[in-house]
Amino acid sequence: MNVRDGATRCLLFTDPANPTSNKIYAEVGFRRVGDWEVHTFERGRKSASVAGWDDVRRIALALPECSERVSRERAQWRVRDKLFVWERPLRASDVRALGEDAPTGPILGARVEHLGAKEALLADDPAVFFTTPHFDGYPAVLVRLEQITLDELEELIVEAWLARAPKRVAKQYTESRFGESDG
């Protein structure tokens, strides 16, 4: 399968000591992963760093009163025991419902403030955000982790945290980070 056929990854074997090819590869978005170079092609976007579980962990745990737990062998992040982002692989029923559109790769679940916010995300970037019938009527989106940029991931996680954090904690955070105050 090649890029024109919809491939989203490729393996590149290169000489790390070759500065010319390394410069070119960096310009087109390849990133080094151990002894392998991995690149995710993002349709319609300039190449950016690919997000991963370490990024989710780093961003979430930097938020006030956040904790990480493992449930059913999957990571989840909570603020005062309220779930806001979690590892959410597709279930068999999800794959059946999505059919050929079912993504492969890591999936992040994220709470949103309300159903209107969910619909806006789904409409804004369907290559990144999606849902399944399991989440109908529930304020959460599913995210193709390998398709979201790090900046978008941080915004999504912070918004999910704000939707679930106690009002006082959220207000302190927004005032300290953005200089915003309600009164």
Q: What is the pLDDT of residues 119-136, one digit of tens each?
A: 999 999 999 999 999 999
Which overall architecture, per CATH, does domain 53-178 show? Alpha-Beta Complex (3.90)
- For 164, phi and psi rounded to 5 degrees? -110, -20
Start-to-end C-alpha separation, the chain: 57
pLDDT of residue 69: 95
Low-confidence ranges of the chain (pLDDT < 70): 1-48, 180-183
Domain limits of the chain? 3-40, 53-178
pLDDT of residue 3: 43
pLDDT of residue 80: 93
- What separation in angstroms does the CA of 130 have from each of 34, 35, 63, 158, 182? 30, 32, 25, 19, 33
Q: Which two tokens stand for residue 50?
A: 């690919």
pLDDT of residue 166: 95
pLDDT of residue 140: 97
> Could you read off the pLDDT of 36-57 as tens digits, one per residue?
444 444 444 434 577 899 999 9
Q: How far apart are CA 128 and CA 29, in angstroms?
A: 18
Structure pTM? Answer: 0.71
Asked whether 25 and 19 are in contact (CB, 8 A), the reply is: no
Q: How far apart are CA 45 and CA 160, in angstroms?
A: 24
Q: Which helix (H) or strand (E) holds 129?
A: strand 129-130
Spatial CA neighbour of 153 closest among 175, 181, 125, 115: 125
Residues in the chain: 183
- What separation in angstroms does the CA of 91 have from each of 88, 102, 105, 134, 142? 9, 10, 13, 10, 13
